[in-house]
Amino acid sequence: MSEIPLVDKAYQSIRQQLLDGAHLPGDLFSESELAEKLGMSRTPVHAAVSLLEKEGFVQTLYKRGILVKGIDIKDLYDIFDLLGALYSFALDRMAQGMYELDLEAMQSHYDRLVKASEEQKYREYYENGLMFMRTLLTALQNRYMIDTFELHRDKLLYFVVAYRLTKGNNRPYTGRKLYKEILDHLSNQNYMEAKTIIQQHSRNMREDLLRHGYMT
């Protein structure tokens, strides 16, 4: 029997655990432990770990195990800047009346975000926040912009969940007010006001990271 399905199963399972914050940066685990938990041999687990290592989530340490890596802070700032530029571009185009925003989809993501916050589900909360912002890009119907967002979404989600669980869990779910303000402005077609709020939030995030010792 081909091991490919098992590799995919192992990859998705381990990756999901990382995105859920089940394994945080600095944690060590072994292929044997993973294989036992997943009920499979080490062969597909080893292949899955290799894939995750290429994506930068983990690092195999000789005779020590598998290390969960943190995200490079320079990479994080670059991702914030890139996505911020995409959001600003999308809002500029909407202000010119060139595209129509799917407010219903945005409201749906906001509702799910609120529900996740009430149920204290970190990953679902932040994931819906990102999908809320993705709605800005889908309005432009530019697949290259969407592909760029998708390429970096999980890396950003991984960091934010881990960061809040270890450094910033004293202020969970405060983004609800931010998203509500953005949604209200967009509903009233106040695109530049929404853009200003998003840009200010990006600056606040950078200052928050600096306060907690995440330097460029």
Enumerate residues 6+ apart whose C-beta is below 8 A from 77. Answer: 206, 216
- Same domain? For 35 and 58 the reply is yes
Cα separation, 209 vs 207, whole angstroms: 5
- For position 167, what pLDDT does the model report? 67
| Within-domain flag for 58 | yes
- Same domain? For 107 and 8 the reply is no
| Within-domain flag for 59 | yes
- For position 190, what pLDDT does the model report? 96
- For position 215, what pLDDT does the model report? 46
Read off the CATH number of the domain in which 200 is found: 1.20.120.530
- Same domain? For 77 and 168 the reply is yes
- For position 41, what pLDDT does the model report? 93
- Same domain? For 172 and 194 the reply is yes
Q: How many domains does the chain have?
A: 2
Neighbours of 87 (CB within 10 A): 21
- Same domain? For 63 and 100 the reply is no
| Within-domain flag for 216 | no
- Same domain? For 193 and 101 the reply is yes
For 194, the domain range is 73-211
- b/e map of 178-192 (b: 16 or more CB within 10 Å)? bbeebbebbeeeebe
Read off the CATH number of the domain in which 11 is found: 1.10.10.10
Choose the final residue of a domain: 47, 68, 89: 68
Q: What is the mean pLDDT of each run of 10 residues along the chain (216 residues)?
A: 75 90 89 93 94 91 90 83 94 92 96 92 88 95 93 85 68 80 96 94 77 54
- Same domain? For 189 and 171 the reply is yes
- For position 43, what pLDDT does the model report? 93
- Same domain? For 34 and 93 the reply is no
- For position 4, what pLDDT does the model report? 64
- For position 13, what pLDDT does the model report? 94
| Within-domain flag for 194 | yes
| Within-domain flag for 41 | yes
